[in-house]
Amino acid sequence: MTASFPHLSEVLKILDGALKSNASMSTNYAGLLADKLEQDGQREQAMRIRERLARAPNAIAHTQDASRLSNSLPVDSESRLYTVDVSKPAKGAVLLKLSSGTMNRISEFLESVIHYDKLQALDAAMPLRLMLYGPPGTGKTQTIKWIAGELSLPLITVRCDTLIGSLLGQTSKNLRRVFEYASETPCVLFLDEFDALANARGNERDIGELQRVVISLLQNIDALEKNIVLVAASNHEQLLDRAIWRRFPFQVPLFLPDLALRTDLWKLMLGDVEIKGLDLNELAKKSEGLSGALIEQVAIDARRHAILGGTQGIDPTEIYRRLGIALALNLGKNLNDVKDEIQWLRKWDAKIFSIRELSRLYKISTRQITHLIEDKHG
């Protein structure tokens, strides 16, 4: 058994870059190696690498800067549009709340990335490929941004729409370029809305071509080195091919938030705004069925309302009103006018939405409210 050599992956990538005469690949990975050494407390060594890099010709040196990775981004040769987006989420800047079970599984993935070389030396490494799946708005994209931030790696998000080129055969070419690009750049490669790419059915396009896309996707994944971080997110996991699933040893489902997580999400989204008399636990109970994204939307709407209305804090009943409306829309109910709204809110919770509260909220008399509630038809 070989003893573990820390950061062997980066050293090999630097070597690969040199052998391929790909200076940007070598310098990108040398930059990453310096970062890792610094994190390990080896500042002296990190500095020596950075000094070397600083001596490189300008054309090479700029590639070390992740914000300028865009110089060589892959494009669709027909539309000339970029097929990826590059961002650099800062560590600690992406707000994320997950249930403890989910967080444990994500942490396990992070640990596997961070200690890849050690695990590899002991024959215990798995390819660094993570699939997140679950309903819309449950935080899949947010989680991946957070992961990139934690790893201090640029996030390269594939634009599936541009990638699926209009010309026959173009998609496979685009895919190849994206994967090549990712293997030359330390990054998290992110296939968002993955089902758009990995779904061989349910699309008007020529079935033959789509199957070729899936095959090409599988080939690209197989050719990708196992220590490159590849993540995918999908909210139509039932559409994904079994062959695709097999390529992702880390699979984490995200569910609609449970009571505890909803409470945390409300806390996170409402921030430090003052809400007199609001019981967050009660609010979380009443928001069963809502995704994190919808909780965020209600919270932002309520905050905006408070700011524009010039009121100091948020009115709790106003939050419940917005929550009630969001729930109705989520259930596919059509609230066409004020009367529909009032009737729905009253039915949803007659205690919160007493005649008096409704009158205050909608600025109409209690008599009119009573009239609207009783008016079932006209």
- Contacting residues toward Mg ion, per CB under 5 A: 140-141
The residue with tokens 């449970």 is 258
Q: Which is nearer to ligand ATP, 163 or 342 (CB)?
A: 163
Does residue 289 touch ligand ATP according to CB under 6 A?
Answer: no
Q: Which is nearer to Mg ion, 194 or 320 (CB)?
A: 194
**Closest distance to ligand ATP from the beta carbon of 279 (Å):** 21
Q: Which stretch binds ligand ATP (CB under 6 A): 38-46, 161-169, 243-251, 291-299?
A: 291-299
Q: What are phi and psi of 157, to 5 degrees?
A: -95, 125
Q: Which residue is nearest to Mg ion (CB)?
A: 141
Size of the site for ligand ATP (CB under 6 A): 16
Tokens representing 85 are: 């987006």
Binding-site member from 74, 292, 316, 324 for ligand ATP (CB under 6 A)? 292
**Closest distance to ligand ATP from the beta carbon of 96 (Å):** 5
Question: Which of 88, 100, 93 lies closest to 32, judged by CA?
Answer: 88
Does residue 324 touch ligand ATP according to CB under 6 A?
Answer: no
Q: Which is nearer to Mg ion, 93 or 259 (CB)?
A: 93
Does residue 97 touch ligand ATP according to CB under 6 A?
Answer: yes
Q: Which residues is 85 bridged to in the sheet?
A: 157
**Closest distance to ligand ATP from the beta carbon of 219 (Å):** 26
Q: Give, as ranges, the residues between 201 and 240 that touch ligand ATP (CB under 6 A).
A: 233, 235
**Closest distance to Mg ion from the beta carbon of 93 (Å):** 18
The residue with tokens 């700029």 is 62
Assign 154 to helix, strand or coil: coil
Measured at the alpha carbon of residue 194, what is the angle toward residues 190 and 200, in degrees to the nearest 5? 145
Tokens representing 120 are: 């590899």
Q: Give, as ranges, the residues between 138 and 167 that touch ligand ATP (CB under 6 A).
A: 138-142
Q: Which is nearer to Mg ion, 116 or 133 (CB)?
A: 133
Asked if residue 223 lies in contact with residue 179, where contact means CB atoms within 8 angstroms, the answer is yes
Binding-site member from 98, 106, 164, 244 for ligand ATP (CB under 6 A)? 98
Q: What are phi and psi of 260, to 5 degrees?
A: -65, -40
The residue with tokens 């640990």 is 111
* Beta strands at 155-158 and 84-87: parallel, antiparallel or unpaired: antiparallel
**Closest distance to ligand ATP from the beta carbon of 359 (Å):** 34
296 binds, among Mg ion, ligand ATP, none (CB under 5 to 8 A by kind): ligand ATP
42 binds, among ligand ATP, Mg ion, none (CB under 5 to 8 A by kind): none
| Distance separating alpha carbons of residues 39 and 377, to the nearest angstrom | 68
Q: Which is nearer to Mg ion, 132 or 283 (CB)?
A: 132
**Closest distance to Mg ion from the beta carbon of 294 (Å):** 14
| Distance separating alpha carbons of residues 67 and 71, to the nearest angstrom | 9
Q: Under the phi-then-psi rule, with left for phi > 0, alpha for psi from -120 to 50, and beta for the rest, what region is 325?
A: alpha
Per-position b or e across 348-364, b if 16+ CB within 10 A of its CB: beeebbebebbbebbee
Per-position b or e across 290-317, b if 16+ CB within 10 A of its CB: bbbebbbbbbebbbebbeeeeeeebbbb
**Closest distance to ligand ATP from the beta carbon of 331 (Å):** 18
Cβ count within 10 A of residue 236: 15
**Closest distance to ligand ATP from the beta carbon of 29 (Å):** 29
149 binds, among Mg ion, ligand ATP, none (CB under 5 to 8 A by kind): none
Contacts with ligand ATP, 111-140, as mask; x by CB under 6 A: -------------------------xxxxx
Does residue 195 touch ligand ATP according to CB under 6 A?
Answer: no
Q: Which residue is nearest to ligand ATP (CB)?
A: 292
**Closest distance to Mg ion from the beta carbon of 306 (Å):** 28
Asked if residue 231 lies in contact with residue 127, where contact means CB atoms within 8 angstroms, the answer is no
Q: How many helices (H) and strands (E) does the chain have?
A: 19, 6
- Which chain residues interact with ligand ATP by CB under 6 A? 95-98, 136-142, 233, 235, 292-293, 296
